[in-house]
């Protein structure tokens, strides 16, 4: 099965995007990968030129621009809460449906995950795990939107419901993941949903287990800025390998 990879990126997260794309080419079986789609919410011409050096990378315009000066600001929310909508637009525009993985741009692929995608299901969301989170962490949704696999065209109504649900969430700092969780519960008897554990597919632990396939360099104390998140010990090898 061939599949595409989709991510959303602006210039504030350009270093993350470079790490992600470089790690994909380093770790993923290219025979199984169709293309990497970068949805541009404000990357520079220099960053565009950087990605032009990679085959299979296609940059598409999101239709809006963001800056991301700090975590949870308005531009951060605009980008995060638009991911599902932009993924929906992408898969609906295929002449023939292509299975598509959505990965947050602040991720590093450390092992090929293609084998996880081979299964008889329609969508594969990321199942939240408490590992790496302090006790009393406010987020309590069942799923998290850092990784999502749209496996068949039956994902389209799921994505539409997800997009519609986001503005219904009243939580101050989180709407995307609670909305995703609600739709997983609502549609669990309508389509086939395969949950992939966050520890394996979007790991946030500072000292990840050997079975982790993707590291998610999520903001967390003491890593609250892009620069500090890139300096996490678990990212050091990949930073040196891909960006130095």
**Domains: count for the chain:** 1
Q: So what's the pLDDT on residue 190?
A: 97
Cα 30 to Cα 22, 36, 216, 241: the distances in Å are: 12, 11, 22, 19
Q: So what's the pLDDT on residue 171?
A: 65
DSSP state of 128: P
Q: So what's the pLDDT on residue 80?
A: 62
Q: So what's the pLDDT on residue 221?
A: 73
CA dihedral 59, 232, 130, 88 (to 10 degrees): 0
Domain around 80: 3-243
pLDDT band at residue 174 using 50, 70 and 90 as cut-offs = confident
**Measured between alpha carbons, how far is 210 from 50 in angstroms, rounded to an integer?**
31
| pLDDT tens readout for residues 186-211 | 999 999 999 999 999 999 999 999 99
CATH code for the domain in which residue 54 is found: 3.90.550.10
E strand or H helix that includes residue 38: strand 33-40
- 3-state DSSP of 50-119: HHHCCCCEEEEECCCCCCCCCCCCHHHHHHHCCHHHHHHHHHHCCCCCCCEEEECCCEEECCCCHHHHCC
């Amino acid at each position: 099965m061939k599949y595409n990879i989709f991510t959303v990126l602006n210039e504030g997260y350009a270093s993350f995007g470079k790490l992600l794309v470089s790690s994909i080419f380093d770790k993923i079986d290219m025979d199984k990968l169709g293309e990497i789609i970068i949805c541009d919410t404000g990357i520079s011409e220099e960053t565009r030129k950087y990605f032009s050096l990679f085959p299979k990378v296609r940059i598409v315009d999101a239709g809006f621009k963001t800056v991301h000066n700090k975590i949870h600001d308005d531009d951060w929310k605009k980008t995060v809460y638009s991911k599902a909508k932009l993924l929906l637009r992408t898969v609906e525009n295929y002449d023939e449906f292509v299975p598509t993985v959505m990965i947050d741009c602040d991720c590093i692929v450390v092992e090929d995950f293609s084998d996880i995608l081979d299964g008889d299901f329609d969508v594969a969301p990321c199942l939240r795990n408490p590992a790496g989170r302090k006790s009393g962490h406010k987020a309590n949704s069942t799923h998290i939107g850092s990784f999502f696999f749209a496996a068949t065209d039956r994902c389209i109504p799921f994505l539409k419901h997800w997009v519609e649900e986001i503005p219904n969430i009243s939580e101050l700092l989180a709407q995307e993941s609670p909305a995703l969780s609600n739709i997983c519960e609502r549609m669990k008897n309508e389509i086939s949903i395969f949950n992939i554990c966050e520890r394996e597919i979007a790991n946030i632990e500072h000292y990840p287990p050997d079975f982790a396939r993707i590291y998610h360099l999520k903001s967390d104390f003491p890593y609250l800025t892009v620069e500090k998140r890139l300096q996490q010990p678990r990212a050091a090898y990949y930073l040196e390998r891909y960006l130095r």
